[in-house]
């Protein structure tokens, strides 16, 4: 505030303090509308928290009793399953994908890193799923491919793909395998 000279009133004070609530709080008749807008925004943000999904699991014959298990994971939300800051500080466990199966199916351990289901096609490149499980993270609106090599003893069996993410949830999908 500062002093001013008014022609009729003389010396007066004009202006005011720069307190937080002045100019920020709407008039009473608009408070409900502002609260609704804020609530809708908060609910939208909450709806965009990560959700890991097993988009597709394909069984691809590789040899007589060997099969590739091709898994596509997706997070169709805006937020990642692990923030970059949490990864840098190592404050949260990584997401993990693993395969469980009947006794008739044995997972063949392939080295950690990239695997090629179709060696002459870069589109067939994916991360290998090791017998201990493979750690990963999904960004917002992201898809990733994973592959495991399994051996089938007998004519049929089943396996289960398990994905565990602290923020994206736990997802399981059971698939049966049969020899032709």
What pLDDT sits at residue 79?
A: 97
Phi, psi (rounded to 5 degrees) for 172 = -130, 145
Cα separation of 98 and 116, whole Å?
18
What pLDDT sits at residue 21?
A: 56
Contacts of 46 (CB under 8 A, 6+ apart): none
pLDDT in tens, 41-76: 999 999 999 999 999 999 999 988 999 999 999 999
Helix H segments across 4-110? 28-47, 84-89
pLDDT in tens, 139-164: 999 999 999 999 999 999 999 999 99
pTM to 2 decimal places: 0.79
């Amino acid at each position: 505030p500062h002093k001013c000279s008014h022609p009729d009133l003389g010396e007066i004070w004009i202006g005011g303090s720069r307190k937080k609530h002045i100019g920020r709080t709407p008039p009473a008749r608009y408070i409900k509308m502002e609260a609704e807008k804020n609530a809708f925004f908060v609910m939208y943000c909450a709806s965009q928290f990560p959700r890991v999904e097993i988009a597709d699991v394909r069984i691809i014959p590789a040899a007589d009793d060997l099969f590739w298990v091709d898994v596509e994971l997706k997070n169709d939300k805006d937020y990642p399953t692990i923030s970059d800051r949490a990864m840098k500080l190592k404050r949260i466990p990584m997401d993990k994908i693993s395969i469980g199966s009947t006794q008739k199916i044995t997972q063949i351990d392939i080295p950690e890193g990239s695997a090629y289901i179709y060696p002459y096609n870069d589109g067939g490149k994916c991360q290998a799923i090791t017998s201990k499980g493979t750690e990963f993270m999904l960004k917002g609106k992201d898809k990733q491919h994973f592959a495991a090599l399994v051996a089938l003893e007998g004519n049929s069996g089943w396996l289960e793909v398990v994905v565990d993410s602290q923020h994206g949830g736990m997802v399981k999908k059971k698939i049966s395998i049969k020899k032709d």
